[in-house]
């Protein structure tokens, strides 16, 4: 039989147990309340961020998605959860991307893809990261459509500036080009008139005279053809052209054809004899031609009023790079300007002459080719230096 002492003891113990249970239940309720608040805050945060978020398992099944992803797909979240990626026959590249993630030793992969929405296609950058020992992943998608459009606009504007600068240079030499074309054509017309006169006068035409005149006309026609080919080559848009091994001498000859009249009228000595005939660079020919066009054109403008007038082009190469120097008899560029001369709209030319973009565009083209454009301030004359990497996978052995 339980005595009063034991009964009192049990009563106290029971009261303590009940109190402890009450405290525990109260604490659990508090924890549940906190957990609910944290869950609500987390959900609010997830829905507030301007990106799509999904959680998937290793079977490529959606565990959860946020409202932004559901809206992008035109569905409710409940219609997506439990479904497999690609259940609507969507982007197969995206499905393969998630598969690669779960088969990759890396915990994180990035991927850029297009999503066709009800309005218009959107460009999404996805960042996927595994968790739970690699059995599940969180995938965050950031809409970068506007950024891509802005990048394209910048590229288009840059290409327009390049085209504008090229046309500006060609426009400046157009009078000389017209003269170079007109002279051979006038000579051809003169020879044809002479042949016509002798035919009409019924004078006997010695075959050797006819052949001599035909040869003269052929050479003049080839001269005009060379000028036109140079214009076509240098004026075309080559932004999307592949890099092709091209003779440096060939590019220089094309530019020289354009400037021949100006060089001759200004009595400028042009020397490119130091360029090996076999020297080639992997490049977009039209773009490198534009650089040569800018550099030689700048030299011609700068030398107009000098007593000593010459332009020399030299090239050396080794296993790592090809260096081409353009030097003229000018006295160089002032030090305070030399540091800025490759920047846009910086020019030594008078107002209204040139765009101030030639050298900065040339610098950009060289960077696209993995090379550099610089000015040698140590040279007593004006000297620009081009360096090209030797692309061993494309180039043939070169001698300096």
Span 37-64, pLDDT tens digits:
565 565 665 565 678 888 899 999 999 8
Contact indicator for 166, 79 with CB cutoff of 8 Å: no
pLDDT at 399: 34
pLDDT at 87: 81
pLDDT at 168: 63
User: CA nearest 259: which of 359, 350, 180?
Assistant: 180
What count of Cα atoms within 13 Å lies in the side-chain half-sphere of residue 176?
20
Which residues lie below 8 Å from residue 200, measured CB to CB, with a gap of 6+?
Answer: none
- Domain C-terminal end among 111, 143, 175: 143
Separation between Cα atoms, residue 116 and residue 94, nearest integer Å: 13
pLDDT at 392: 46
Residues 57 and 75 in one domain: yes
Model confidence over 282-339: pLDDT tens digits?
998 888 988 898 899 889 988 988 999 999 999 988 778 999 999 999 888 777 777 7
Separation between Cα atoms, residue 384 and residue 198, nearest integer Å: 55
pLDDT at 238: 61
Residues 122 and 173 in one domain: no
Instruction: Annotate 135-169 with DSSP letters as a single string.
Output: TEEEEEEEE-HHHHHHHHHHHHHHHHHHHHHHHHH
- Domain C-terminal end among 143, 161, 195: 143
Contact indicator for 108, 130 with CB cutoff of 8 Å: yes
Name the DSSP letter for residue 350.
Answer: P
Q: How many CB atoms lie within 10 A of CB 377?
A: 13
Residues 51 and 124 in one domain: yes
Low-confidence ranges of the chain (pLDDT < 50): 392-400
User: CA nearest 169: which of 310, 299, 328, 306?
Assistant: 299
Separation between Cα atoms, residue 188 and residue 214, nearest integer Å: 9
Taking the mean position of all CA atoms in its chain, how far away is CA 179? 37
pTM over 0.95: no
Number of structural domains in the chain: 2
Residues 126 and 214 in one domain: no
Domain residues for the domain of 120 are 45-143
CA dihedral 372, 373, 379, 383 (to 10 degrees): 140
Residues 231 and 207 in one domain: yes
Residue 88 is inside which H or E element, if any?
none
User: CA nearest 179: which of 255, 296, 263?
Assistant: 263
pLDDT at 269: 94
pLDDT at 163: 65
Residues 120 and 157 in one domain: no
User: CA nearest 290: which of 342, 365, 219?
Assistant: 365
Residues 105 and 63 in one domain: yes
pLDDT at 75: 86
CATH code (residue 101): 3.30.450.20
Residues 124 and 165 in one domain: no
User: CA nearest 333: which of 290, 306, 364, 299?
Assistant: 299
């Amino acid at each position: 039989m339980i005595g009063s002492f034991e009964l009192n003891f049990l009563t106290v113990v029971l009261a303590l147990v009940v109190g402890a249970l009450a405290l525990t239940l109260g604490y659990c309720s508090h924890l549940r309340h906190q957990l609910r608040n944290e869950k609500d805050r987390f959900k609010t945060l997830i829905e507030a961020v301007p990106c799509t978020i999904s959680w998937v398992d290793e079977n490529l099944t959606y565990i959860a998605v946020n409202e932004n992803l559901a809206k992008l797909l035109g569905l409710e979240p409940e219609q997506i959860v439990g479904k497999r990626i690609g259940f609507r026959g969507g982007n197969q590249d995206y499905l393969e991307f998630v598969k690669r993630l779960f088969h990759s030793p890396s915990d994180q992969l990035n991927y850029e893809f297009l999503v066709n929405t009800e309005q218009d296609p959107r460009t999404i950058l996805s960042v996927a990261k595994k968790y739970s020992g690699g059995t599940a992943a969180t995938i965050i998608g950031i809409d970068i459509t506007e950024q891509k459009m802005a990048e394209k606009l910048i590229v288009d504007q840059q290409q327009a500036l390049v085209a504008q600068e090229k046309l500006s240079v060609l426009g400046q030499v157009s009078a000389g080009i017209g003269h170079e074309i007109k002279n051979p054509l006038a000579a051809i017309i003169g020879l044809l008139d002479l042949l016509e006169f002798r035919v009409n006068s019924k004078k006997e035409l010695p075959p050797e005279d006819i052949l001599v005149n035909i040869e003269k006309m052929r050479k003049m026609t080839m001269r005009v053809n060379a000028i036109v080919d140079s214009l076509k080559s240098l004026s075309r848009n080559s932004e999307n052209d592949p890099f092709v091994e091209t003779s440096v001498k060939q590019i220089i000859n094309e530019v020289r054809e354009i400037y021949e009249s100006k060089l001759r009228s200004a009595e400028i000595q042009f020397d490119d004899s130091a360029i090996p005939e076999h020297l080639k660079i992997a490049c977009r020919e039209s773009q490198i031609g534009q650089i040569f066009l800018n550099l030689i054109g700048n030299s011609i403008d700068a030398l107009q009023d000098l007593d000593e007038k010459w332009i020399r082009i030299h090239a050396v190469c080794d296993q790592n790079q090809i260096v081409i120097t353009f030097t003229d008899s000018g006295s160089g560029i002032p030090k305070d300007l030399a540091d800025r001369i490759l920047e846009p709209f910086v020019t030594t030319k008078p107002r209204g002459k040139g765009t101030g973009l030639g050298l900065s565009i040339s610098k950009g083209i060289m960077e696209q080719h993995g090379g550099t454009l610089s000015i040698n301030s140590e040279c007593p004359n004006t000297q620009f230096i081009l360096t090209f990497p030797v692309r061993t996978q494309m180039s043939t052995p070169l001698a300096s």
